């Protein structure tokens, strides 16, 4: 009986403690909590400028410039925000780069074509996916123009 | 069955507390949030397991299972339920179990409140807490096992020592242990701060509440113990400088120093090493107090029999002390002060004095307590110091502290500020009180006049500070006086709660001074009808009744208290023979007024039962000691109360705002 209870107890405790290790790491992001402090002067947080004035009248407050609040300092929070913004930007840049690689570039001058362009805006060279007969845009890999029915040069390759 | 489950739960608690420590350290080293989550859960599991062990012991106590040694030693069939429960901490094993349980509970509380400052420190703090828990679990598994069985079931238990059968037994030990255990949390965060090198003022600010809670619990525990001694031991006093009493006082003294010097680190970036030192030594002194109580290292009325457990405690204290000193040494570069104390007559300067006084007294009391053991080690014979040593050391320090308490709050940071314009009021009141008592009251004792003068000075300072604060609010914020007074507490709980605590300390000083300098005592043998007069009272021994009970032989004396011809009260002291310890134990009768306590205890009964020896005492101002304690608690609660949470406005992205 007591062996059973002890085994159950052990199993329950091990399961409870081991659970996070099984589920895996980093499920919950660490959130920055910034405690709101209206004024922090010489290490003391005041609810308002008025409270500081009361303490100054009592000769109990330092005169000084507002400093960091308890918890992460403003600089720390700033740095964290900067870091995250930078991360988001880097990701965007990467995506944009990927998108640009897919987008067709002018074979003559290298300027990327915008959607729907038939000729390059810079040098006037035709878009590689344009029908040489009627000027209709077609998808890469098509063998014949969907408008005039002529054979396409890209299709033969 | 219960004993098996209990022992197994303790063993599992040891395993899981060790795992907490290891997982905590690894999580911090390798930045793994899954390990940290697991360590947190392990702390919760440890609490659950220790609770199971404690519950098993409580069930055994109530079942009166006399095959269990601990139950046999501390419970008997005639013991009331309340004391049966309190028997849980009547012995060494149960006390350590209570310590561990409280520590496990506070650990879980500490990890529940996650805030920005503790984010980096928590894994290491959890590691340190796990190690301390593991130490106590180890003791309970190896040296001081609560679930040891006797070869056969005894018929009845030995029962609780009658001196312990007092409401004090229910409150005093858990309160004290709660204080001890609570100091582990600041200690753990201090170690974490040392390890991580995040030694700014955030962590000091963060553990402020823990310091406060621990300090209050310890202080209240000490006062409750004093009260218990006063009403139970029958010698008329409340504090005997007994080693165990001293042991609990020493960490309280260092913690009092800490509460003050922490403020300076927060505001001025001074005393960083000193604060670390105070936090760490306060915790180690708490463990040391447990060690003294539970090891028989120093002879004491509280102590249990000598056992090998002392070596474990010494090793534990020594290892932590070495680790802490080494870490402080490594981090000394980061621990440099940001500024200097510019003037002695400033907040910082007087706080420094305050710290010197408190730690100096702590050191003196520590040396005095260890003196018998030290002399035994050096010369082979024990030389004990009597109370006069402690009285002579603590008296001047107490007076100096009162003086500081009167002056320090009036000082500004960095410079004396408007001291010259403010000090004359408290100083004048103090002088006037001394003069009035001396000339009109006819008091001739210079020391007493000085003490009462200082008490009046310190009390006036508190009042003046409230008046100044309210005045400043009236002027600056344009509030009416009573709103301003109320707002003082609302807007700056910490400072004005602290002043209420000061007031409590002043009242306690009043009680100590009155009782210490003006008590009168008479020990006299009376026959029925005889009268003894003390102060303005005549106390007449009227009757003695005896009865045989199941657990004790009761003798109750009826005493009439007269002032002039008028009978104002009757007191019933008892003198009972307890069968289980084969001893007489006195139950004291006290008549308390605001001015004085009349205290009557029986000290002996003649063989024929006609003549009774009484100890009659008049303890002036005694009640203020307890009133001061209550005021102190109120003040701490005010200082502790969290600031009202201001509304936090957080920018929510437009998309989410419409979605929700």
Tell me if B58 sits within 8 A of B64, measured CB to CB: no
Place B215 in a pLDDT band, splitting at 50, 70 and 90. Answer: very high
Indicate whether A84 belongs to any domain.
Answer: yes
Final residue of a domain: which of A58, A86, A102? A102
- Going by C-alpha positions, the residue among B270, B133, B282, B122 that lies closest to residue B196 is B122
Kindly report which listed range (B37-51, B157-171, B441-455, B491-505) carries the lowest average pLDDT score: B157-171
Phi, psi (5° rounding) for residue B533?
-110, 140
pLDDT in tens, B440-456: 887 888 888 999 999 99
**pLDDT recorded at residue B40:** 92
Q: How many domains does chain A contain in total?
A: 2
- Mean pLDDT, to the nearest integer, of B319-344? 84
- Mean pLDDT, to the nearest integer, of A108-133? 80
Q: What distance in Å separates the CA atoms of residue B279 and residue B529, rounded to the nearest whole number?
A: 58
Which is more confidently placed, A15 or B337? A15
Q: Is the pLDDT of residue B494 over 50?
A: yes
**pLDDT recorded at residue B417:** 65
**pLDDT recorded at residue A99:** 65
Indicate whether A80 belongs to any domain.
Answer: yes
HEC secondary structure over B32-51: CHHHHHHHHHHHHHHHHHHH
- Mean pLDDT, to the nearest integer, of B13-23? 96
Q: What distance in Å separates the CA atoms of residue B557 and residue A137, rounded to the nearest whole number?
A: 118
Tell me if B559 sits within 8 A of B572, measured CB to CB: yes
Looking at the structure, tell me whether residues A73 and A97 fall in a common domain. Answer: yes
- Mean pLDDT, to the nearest integer, of B596-601? 91
Looking at the structure, tell me whether residues A84 and A146 fall in a common domain. Answer: no
Looking at the structure, tell me whether residues A92 and A122 fall in a common domain. Answer: no
**pLDDT recorded at residue B585:** 86
Q: What distance in Å separates the CA atoms of residue B239 and residue B241, rounded to the nearest whole number?
A: 6
Averaged confidence pLDDT in chain A:
74
Q: Is the pLDDT of residue B218 over 90?
A: yes
Nearest CA in chain A to B468: A58
Query: Does B477 contact A44 at a Cβ distance shorter than 8 Å?
Result: no
Residues of chain A contacting B115 with CB distance shorter than 8 Å: 33, 35, 71
Indicate whether A14 belongs to any domain.
Answer: no
Looking at the structure, tell me whether residues A98 and A32 fall in a common domain. Answer: yes
Residues of chain B contacting A50 with CB distance shorter than 8 Å: 476-477
Beta-bridged to residue B576, according to DSSP, are: B585
Establish if A27 touches chain B: CB-CB under 8 angstroms: yes
Looking at the structure, tell me whether residues A51 and A80 fall in a common domain. Answer: yes
Kindly report which listed range (A83-87, A139-143, B31-35, B70-74) carries the lowest average pLDDT score: A139-143
Burial class (CB in 10 A: 0-12, 13-18, 19+), B318: exposed
Place A67 in a pLDDT band, splitting at 50, 70 and 90. Answer: very low
Indicate whether A3 belongs to any domain.
Answer: no
Final residue of a domain: which of A71, A102, A133? A102
Q: Strands A39-41, A44-46: parallel, antiparallel or unpaired by DSSP?
A: antiparallel
Indicate whether A96 belongs to any domain.
Answer: yes
Q: What distance in Å separates the CA atoms of residue B311 and residue B291, rounded to the nearest whole number?
A: 9
For a pLDDT cut of 70, what percent of chain B falls above it? 94
What H or E segment, with its residue span, contains residue B409?
A: none
Indicate whether A12 belongs to any domain.
Answer: no
Nearest CA in chain A to B117: A71
- Look-up of token digits 């018929």: B155
Indicate whether A116 belongs to any domain.
Answer: yes
Looking at the structure, tell me whether residues A136 and A87 fall in a common domain. Answer: no
pLDDT in tens, B425-444: 888 999 999 888 888 887 88
Q: Is the pLDDT of residue A156 over 60?
A: no
Looking at the structure, tell me whether residues A86 and A140 fall in a common domain. Answer: no
Beta-bridged to residue B527, according to DSSP, are: none
State how far Cα B528 lies from the chain centre.
43
Q: What distance in Å separates the CA atoms of residue B616 and residue B521, rounded to the nearest whole number?
A: 6
Q: Residue A44 has which token pair? A: 């003391």
Tell me if B590 sits within 8 A of B598, measured CB to CB: yes
Q: What long-range pairs does B302-311 form, CB within 8 A, spacing at least 24?
A: B302/B242, B302/B243, B302/B244, B302/B245, B303/B243, B303/B244, B304/B91, B304/B92, B307/B92, B307/B143, B307/B144, B308/B143, B309/B92, B309/B139, B309/B143, B309/B144
Tell me if B472 sits within 8 A of A58, measured CB to CB: yes
Q: Is the pLDDT of residue A71 over 70?
A: no
Kindly report which listed range (B239-248, B253-262, B397-406) carries the lowest average pLDDT score: B239-248
Looking at the structure, tell me whether residues A95 and A127 fall in a common domain. Answer: no
Final residue of a domain: which of A60, A86, A102? A102
Tell me if A37 sits within 8 A of B119, measured CB to CB: no
Nearest CA in chain B to A63: B413
Kindly report which listed range (A64-68, B113-117, B140-144, B156-160) carries the lowest average pLDDT score: A64-68
User: Helix, strand, or coil here: A112?
Assistant: strand
Indicate whether A88 belongs to any domain.
Answer: yes
Which is more confidently placed, B657 or B295? B295
**pLDDT recorded at residue A107:** 78
Tell me if B257 sits within 8 A of B355, measured CB to CB: yes
Residues of chain A contacting B266 with CB distance shorter than 8 Å: 43-44
Q: Is the pLDDT of residue B638 over 80?
A: yes
**pLDDT recorded at residue A33:** 43
Looking at the structure, tell me whether residues A75 and A129 fall in a common domain. Answer: no
- Going by C-alpha positions, the residue among B518, B524, B358, B391 that lies closest to residue B452 is B518
> Which residue of A24, A55, A60 is the best one to mutate when testing the B interface, meaning the one whose CB has the most B CBs within 10 A?
A60
Residues of chain A contacting B33 with CB distance shorter than 8 Å: 25-28, 30
Looking at the structure, tell me whether residues A65 and A116 fall in a common domain. Answer: no
Residues of chain B contacting A43 with CB distance shorter than 8 Å: 201, 266-269
Q: Is the pLDDT of residue B644 over 60?
A: no
Q: Is the pLDDT of residue B657 over 50?
A: no
For a pLDDT cut of 70, what percent of chain A falls above it? 71
pLDDT in tens, B540-586: 999 888 888 877 889 999 999 999 888 999 999 999 888 877 888 88
Query: Does B8 contact A70 at a Cβ distance shorter than 8 Å?
Result: no
**pLDDT recorded at residue B212:** 92
User: Helix, strand, or coil here: B80?
Assistant: coil
Nearest neighbour of A24 by CB, restricted to B8, B34, B117 = B34
Domain that holds residue A64: 28-102
Looking at the structure, tell me whether residues A98 and A37 fall in a common domain. Answer: yes
Establish if B116 touches chain A: CB-CB under 8 angstroms: yes
For a pLDDT cut of 90, what percent of chain B falls above it? 45
> Which residue of B14, B40, B41 is the best one to mutate when testing the A interface, meaning the one whose CB has the most A CBs within 10 A?
B41
Averaged confidence pLDDT in chain B:
87
Nearest neighbour of B116 by CB, restricted to A5, A33, A43 = A33
Residues of chain A contacting B474 with CB distance shorter than 8 Å: none
Q: What distance in Å separates the CA atoms of residue B389 and residue B368, rounded to the nearest whole number?
A: 8
Looking at the structure, tell me whether residues A36 and A97 fall in a common domain. Answer: yes
Q: Is the pLDDT of residue B43 over 90?
A: yes
Tell me if B50 sits within 8 A of B97, measured CB to CB: yes
């Amino acid at each position: 009986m007591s062996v059973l209870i002890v085994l159950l107890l052990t199993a329950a405790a091990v399961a409870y403690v081991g659970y996070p290790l099984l589920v895996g790491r980093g499920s919950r992001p660490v959130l920055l909590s910034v405690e709101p402090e209206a004024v922090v002067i010489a290490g003391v947080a005041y609810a308002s400028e008025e409270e500081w004035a009361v303490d100054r009248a009592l000769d109990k407050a330092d005169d000084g410039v507002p400093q960091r609040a308890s918890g992460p300092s403003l600089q720390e929070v700033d740095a964290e925000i900067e870091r995250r913004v930078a991360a988001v930007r880097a990701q965007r840049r990467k995506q944009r780069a990927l998108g640009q690689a897919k987008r067709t570039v002018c074979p003559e001058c290298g300027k990327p074509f915008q959607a729907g362009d038939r000729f390059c805006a810079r040098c006037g060279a035709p878009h590689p996916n344009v029908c040489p007969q009627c000027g209709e845009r077609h998808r890469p890999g098509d063998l014949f123009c969907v408008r005039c029915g002529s054979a396409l040069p890209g299709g033969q390759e | 069955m219960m004993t098996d489950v209990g022992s197994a739960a303790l063993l599992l608690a040891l395993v899981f507390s060790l795992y907490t420590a290891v997982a905590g350290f690894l999580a911090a080293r390798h930045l793994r949030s899954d390990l940290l989550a697991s360590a947190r859960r392990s702390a919760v599991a440890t609490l659950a397991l220790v609770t199971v062990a404690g519950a098993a012991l409580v069930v055994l106590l109530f079942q009166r299972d006399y095959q269990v040694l601990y139950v046999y030693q501390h419970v008997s069939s005639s013991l009331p339920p309340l004391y049966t429960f309190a028997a849980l901490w009547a012995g060494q094993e149960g006390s350590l179990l209570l310590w561990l349980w409280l520590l496990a509970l506070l650990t879980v509380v500490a990890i529940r409140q996650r805030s920005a400052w503790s984010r980096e420190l928590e894994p290491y703090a959890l590691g340190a807490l796990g190690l301390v828990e593991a130490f106590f679990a180890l003791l309970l598994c190896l040296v001081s096992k609560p679930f040891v069985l006797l070869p056969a079931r005894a018929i009845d238990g030995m029962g609780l020592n009658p001196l312990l059968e007092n409401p004090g037994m229910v409150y005093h030990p858990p309160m004290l242990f709660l204080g001890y255990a609570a100091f582990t949390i600041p200690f753990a965060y201090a170690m974490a701060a040392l390890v991580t090198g995040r030694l700014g003022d955030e962590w000091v600010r963060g553990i402020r509440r823990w310091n406060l809670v621990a300090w209050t619990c310890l202080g209240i525990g000490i006062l409750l113990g004093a009260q218990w001694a006063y009403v139970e031991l029958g010698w008329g006093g409340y504090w005997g400088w007994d080693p165990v009493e001293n042991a609990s006082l020493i960490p309280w003294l260092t913690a009092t120093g800490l509460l003050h010097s922490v403020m300076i680190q927060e505001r001025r970036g001074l005393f960083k090493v000193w604060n670390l030192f105070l936090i760490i030594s306060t915790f180690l002194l708490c463990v040391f107090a447990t060690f003294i109580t539970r090891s028989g290292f120093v002879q004491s009325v509280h102590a249990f029999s000598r056992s090998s457990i002392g070596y474990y405690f010494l090793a534990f204290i020594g290892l932590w002390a070495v680790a802490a000193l080494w870490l402080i040494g490594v981090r000394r570069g980061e621990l440099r002060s940001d500024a200097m104390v510019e003037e002695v007559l400033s907040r910082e300067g007087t706080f420094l004095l305050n710290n010197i006084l408190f730690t100096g007294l702590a050191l003196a009391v520590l040396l005095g307590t260890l003196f018998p053991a030290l002399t035994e080690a050096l010369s082979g014979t024990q030389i004990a110091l009597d109370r006069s040593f402690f009285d002579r050391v603590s008296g001047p320090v107490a007076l100096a502290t009162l003086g500081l308490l009167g002056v320090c709050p009036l000082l500004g940071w960095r410079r004396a500020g408007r001291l010259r314009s403010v000090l004359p009021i408290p100083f004048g009141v103090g002088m006037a009180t001394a003069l009035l008592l001396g000339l009109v009251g006819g008091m001739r004792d210079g020391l007493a006049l000085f003490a009462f003068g200082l008490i009046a000075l310190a009390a006036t300072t508190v009042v003046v500070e409230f008046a100044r604060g309210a005045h400043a609010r009236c002027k600056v914020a344009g509030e009416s006086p009573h709103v301003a007074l109320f707002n003082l507490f609302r807007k700056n709980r910490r400072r004005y709660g602290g002043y209420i605590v000061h007031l409590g300390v002043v009242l306690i000083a009043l009680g100590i001074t009155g009782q210490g300098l003006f008590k009168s005592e008479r020990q006299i043998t009376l026959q029925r009808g005889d009268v003894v007069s003390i102060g303005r009272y005549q106390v007449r021994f009227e009757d003695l009744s005896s009865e045989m009970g199941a657990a004790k032989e009761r003798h109750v004396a009826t005493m009439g208290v007269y002032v002039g011809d008028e009978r104002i009260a009757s007191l019933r002291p008892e003198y009972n023979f307890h069968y289980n310890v084969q001893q007489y134990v006195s139950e004291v009768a006290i008549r308390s007024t605001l001015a004085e306590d009349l205290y009557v205890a029986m000290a002996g009964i003649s063989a024929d039962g006609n003549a009774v020896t009484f100890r009659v005492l008049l303890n002036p101002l005694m009640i203020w000691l307890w009133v001061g304690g209550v005021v102190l608690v109120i003040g701490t609660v005010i200082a502790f109360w969290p600031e009202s949470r201001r509304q936090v406005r957080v920018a929510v992205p437009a998309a989410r705002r419409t979605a929700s």
